[in-house]
Amino acid sequence: MNTLRAKFALLLVVSIVAVVALITLAMMYFFATPKDIEAGLLARQLITLERLGKQNPESELLSRQPSAGEPDGDASELLRAAAAQLGATLDVAVTHHAKSSQLWTVSLRVGPGSWVLVDIDSLSDPALWEWLAFITIGVGSIAVFAAHRMSRPLALLEAAAESIGPDGSVAVFSERGPAEVRVTAAAINSLSLRLKRAMESRMRLVAAAGHDFRTPLTRMRLRAEFVSDDEEQALWLKDIDELERIADSAIQLVREEATKASVQVIRVDELVKIIVDELRQQNLPIGVMDTVEVYAKADRLALSRALRNLLINAATHGVRGVVNVTGGTSIKVTISDEGPGIAPNLLDQVFEPFFRADRARRQAIPGAGLGLTISREIIRKYGGDIRIRNSADGGLVQIVDLPSVT
């Protein structure tokens, strides 16, 4: 019952069945014949049958024994009491009919060995559940059809929301069917097109800005070479290097969002070990504590770049990093460090472009501040995500979740 269509159908069935049940109960209450009146009318007929039977006790229409069905003492007593109110004494026994639960058989003694057997409708309340079951089946069929028609526009919206990809793209829907469905599909397609154009425009703007940075930076570098003061020249070149890193990172971020990389099955634990070995050769304090054999679908180069950014963060900002790889329904790459961590009020900002937890470290540790942003963009492209939290023992914990494949 999690789909919108099923909820509509259930709502319609429950509503209509409830209304029918209330109307049926009201009809039974206001228009049904009371049991005592019905029993009195039946007693009058039985008194007449008894007189006729006594006048001809040897008639072939009479039975030589009463009905053998299951006796109903309450109904028998009800008929005797009704006859007594009419001034007659009847020897009757009411039994349940063998072929129908809604019928009774009245055995009326008219002589020493003679009985009149009469089949009558039950004096009990009708089986309301049978009527409601019939109504429910009929209404259910109509409700499912009606819900299907009514919920198609909303189902399109639900499908559109579920089809949004990691890059923000929305699937294109066929503009066919009833008028309301065509209008909804057209609106979704128009929204998808506008979103796509807006994202492409943003990517082109960032890429163009990053590319256009290179020419003035090159001129600045050439001019800095002619600065006579060595200390001033070093400061100029350091600032230029940082601007170039920012431009390169911005262009790299655009490429990650726009590039349709080839996806393959990758053994993640081996990839992590390879990256850690490369970083250790660069004298970065990073190590592997424990891994299991796990596989994920991703572009090897892109996933390597994302994990490398996270491991470098742990080795530089976190003093020393340790990585674990675990499996199960999803892959978890947990990177822990021994650094100071991040203030809790800043944890929600760590994935923002150019974010730095400590502005004072901008000059001490080179970087553009886009490493986490790029890493999350890559991981989300392949159906995963990154979570960051402070460890109870101090330091920062970066957790990468990826869908596992066998």
The string of pLDDT tens digits covering residues 207-264 is 666 666 777 777 777 777 777 777 777 777 777 777 776 676 666 666 655 566 678 8
Amino acid at position 310, single letter: L
Banded pLDDT at 279 (limits 50, 70, 90) = very high
Q: Which of 154-158, 159-163, 342-346 has the highest mean pLDDT?
A: 342-346
Q: How far apart are CA 304 and CA 232, in angstroms?
A: 38
Question: Which SS3 state, helix, strand or coil, does residue 212 take?
Answer: helix
Domain extents in the chain: 1-150, 165-259, 264-403
Burial (Cβ within 10 Å: 0-12, 13-18, ≥19) of residue 259: exposed
Query: Per residue in 97-139, pLDDT tens?
Result: 777 666 778 888 888 878 788 877 766 555 556 666 777 777 7
Query: Per residue in 33-43, pLDDT tens?
Result: 556 677 777 77
How much is the pLDDT for 127? 54
User: How far lies 385's CA from each of 45, 331, 376, in Å?
Assistant: 83, 11, 6
Average pLDDT over residues 310-324: 88
Question: Which SS3 state, helix, strand or coil, does residue 228 take?
Answer: coil
Banded pLDDT at 3 (limits 50, 70, 90) = low
Burial (Cβ within 10 Å: 0-12, 13-18, ≥19) of residue 214: middle
If one compares 344 and 61, the residue with the highest pLDDT of the two is 344
Class of domain 264-403: alpha beta
Average pLDDT over residues 60-84: 79
Distance of CA 10 to the CA centre of its chain: 17
Q: What angle separates helix 128-150 from helix 152-162, to the nearest 10 degrees?
A: 60
Per-residue tokens: 286: 């990073």
Banded pLDDT at 363 (limits 50, 70, 90) = very low
How many CA atoms does the CB half-sphere of 76 hold within 13 Å?
A: 16
**CATH number assigned to the domain covering 165-259:** 1.10.287.130
Banded pLDDT at 359 (limits 50, 70, 90) = very low
Percent of the chain with pLDDT strictly greater than 90: 14
Q: How far apart are CA 300 and CA 382, in angstroms?
A: 11
